[in-house]
Amino acid sequence: MKIEVTGTGPLEVDASVLAVPVFEGDAADPKGIFAEIDRRLGGHLASAATEEDFQGKTGQVLSIRTLGKLKASRVLLLGLGKREGAERVLPLAGFEPLRLAAGDAARLAQKGGATRLAFASPRLPGQTAHEARAIVEGALLGAYRFDRYKTEEKKKKPRLLESLVVALPPGLERSKEVKESVALARTVAQSVAWARDRVNEPPLHLTPSRLADAARELAKEAGLQVEVLGPREIAGLRMGMFLGVTRGSAEEPRLVKISWIPRGAAAKKAPVVIVGKAITFDSGGLSLKPTEGMVDMKTDMAGAAAAIAAMKVVAELAPPFPVHALVGACENMPGGRAYKPSDILIARNGKTVEITNTDAEGRLVLGDVLAWGVETLKPAMIVDLATLTGACIVALGMTTVGAFGPDGPAMDAVLAAARAAGEDTWRLPLTDSVKEELKSDVADLKNAGTRMGGSISAAWFLKEFVGDAPWVHLDIAGPSSTTKERGHVAKGGTGVGVRTLVELVRARIQEDSRPPRR
Q: Which residues are identified as catalytic?
A: 289, 363
Positive or negative, the CA dihedral 166, 171, 172, 177 is positive
Residue 368 contacts residue 241 (beta carbons within 8 Å): yes
Count how many Cα atoms sit within 13 Å of the Cα of residue 71 in the half-sphere of its side chain: 13
Distance of CA 410 to the CA centre of its chain: 19
Closest CA to 195 of 214, 223, 181, 216: 214
DSSP 408-424: SHHHHHHHHHHHHHT--
Burial of 502 (0-12, 13-18, 19+ CB in 10 A): buried
What are the beta bridge partners of residue 279? 330
433 in helix, strand or coil?
helix
Cα torsion for 150, 152, 157, 159, to the nearest 10°? -70
Q: How far apart are CA 321 and CA 45, in angstroms?
A: 53
Closest CA to 25 of 52, 48, 46: 46
